[in-house]
Amino acid sequence: MSSQKNFLVIGSNGQIGTVLTNRLGEKYGFENVVGSDLRPPENQTKFIFEECSVLDKDRLEKIISKHNITDVYLLAAYLSAKGEQNIEKAWDLNINGLLHILNFAKDKKIQKIFWPSSIAVFGPTTPKNNVEQNAITEPATIYGVSKLAGESLCNYYHNKFGIDVRSIRYPGLIGWESMPGGGTTDYAVDIFHEAIKNGEYTCFLSEDRTLPMMYMNDAIKATIGIMGAPFEKIKIRTSYNLSSLHFNPKQLEKEIKKHFEHFKIIYKPDERDQLAKGWPESINDDCARKDWGWEPNFNLSQMVSDIILNLTNRYK
Ligand code: NAD
Ligand code: AKB
């Protein structure tokens, strides 16, 4: 078998996919990266693009064969807030998309899978702070329910068929290169755009709603890191807890005010605040650190400075 790696990122137009396709291209060569999504990307990309739904198994199989895909990063999903608007579609996409990819691996059409889970697998009965890897998982959203079922599917396919599937429970992700699509933590991205463009932001979470969060650069580092780790180092085949930051909107507001002293924020919590209320405030990620050497690079003030610098340049 050739040692050449070819990567397929499904959901490449999304918040993570937009950044991950470029980082994979920079590291492994853009000719080896295929992005796929429901529609073509808005801007010209350096990687190859294929229009496809992850629910269209036949077309997906043709794309995998055409590009000799070895590693699939499955990012297409309904996130927490959007999922609550359409329970059946969320279940269908989040579970059947994953099953298609796991079955391609079972049939030896691909070698390795990355599939992200979320802190949303935890729920109101989980302890709030320093949540351990094996803490209670009783999610209160269909998104969390589907992620928990997905984790079990990954573990089952690994144990039964030896599938090399790797997963991380991402916290809320914040970046400047892409916009989020229907999550509860989206406020932490929107706030930067509004601070720069209008000097004012109306926040849909309560000011004291603390959540586990992470800078996109660290999330991509973890994603490429877990996929590059030796097989035997990956001891958890459900999904790894992952952590770097935890803060509430008030603390983020304070940090942004160091750059824009007149920045104004109005708090108008909506139903998303209730979703967030059921999630932990901070996560223990000792297993990821011990097993495959995970370590974040950015603290809150470094992240805020980096985002403001890059976004200010972009808006110029
Ligand atoms: P996103 O909503 O920004 O992007 C998802 C992409 O999937 C979109 O471009 C969408 O067009 C595409 N898509 C939707 N249906 C599709 C289909 N049938 N076939 C192919 N593509 C389809 O999501 P994201 O924030 O990039 O998240 C990616 C993954 O990471 C998801 O599994 C999500 O649950 C997980 N995650 C994200 C966060 C976060 O903060 N962004 C946190 C935890 C977990
Ligand atoms: C969401 O808010 O739905 C996501 C997540 C934490 O999974 N950002």
> Is pLDDT at 126 greater than 60 in this prediction?
yes
- In tens, the pLDDT along 168-188 reads 999 999 999 999 989 999 999
pLDDT for residue 113: 99
Q: Which listed CATH number (3.90.25, 3.40.50, 1.20.1070, 3.30.310) goes with 173-212+246-281+297-315?
A: 3.90.25
Q: How large a percentage of the chain has pLDDT more than 70?
A: 99
**Domain locations in the chain?**
7-172+215-241, 173-212+246-281+297-315
Q: What is the pLDDT of residue 181?
A: 87
Confidence band of 309 (pLDDT split at 50, 70, 90)? very high
Ligand 2 test: best mutation among 80, 86, 205, 214, most atoms within 8 Å of CB?
Answer: 80
The β-bridge partners of 203 are 267
Residue from 28, 73, 78, 143 carrying the catalytic annotation: 143
| pLDDT tens per residue across span 261-292 | 999 999 999 999 999 999 999 999 999 999 99
Note if 143 is an active site residue.
Answer: yes
What pLDDT, on a 0 to 100 scale, did the predictor assign at position 79? 98
Average pLDDT for residues 37-46, to the nearest whole number?
94
Q: What is the mean pLDDT of the chain?
A: 97
Identify the pLDDT of residue 2.
Answer: 66
Q: Does 7-172+215-241 carry CATH code 3.40.50.720?
A: yes
pLDDT digits (tens, 9 = 90+) for 216-226: 999 999 999 99
Residue 302 pLDDT greater than 90, yes or no: yes
Q: What is the mean pLDDT of residues 73-89?
A: 98
Site to substitute for ligand 1 among 51, 54, 60, 79, most atoms within 8 A of C-beta: 79
pLDDT band at residue 44 under the 50/70/90 scheme: confident
Instruction: State the pLDDT confidence band at 3, using cuts at 50, 70 and 90.
Output: confident
Confidence band, pLDDT 50/70/90 cuts, at residue 1: low
Residue with tokens 């070895």: 70
Does the CB atom of residue 116 touch ligand 1 within 6 A? yes
Tell me the mean pLDDT in the region 218-246.
Answer: 98
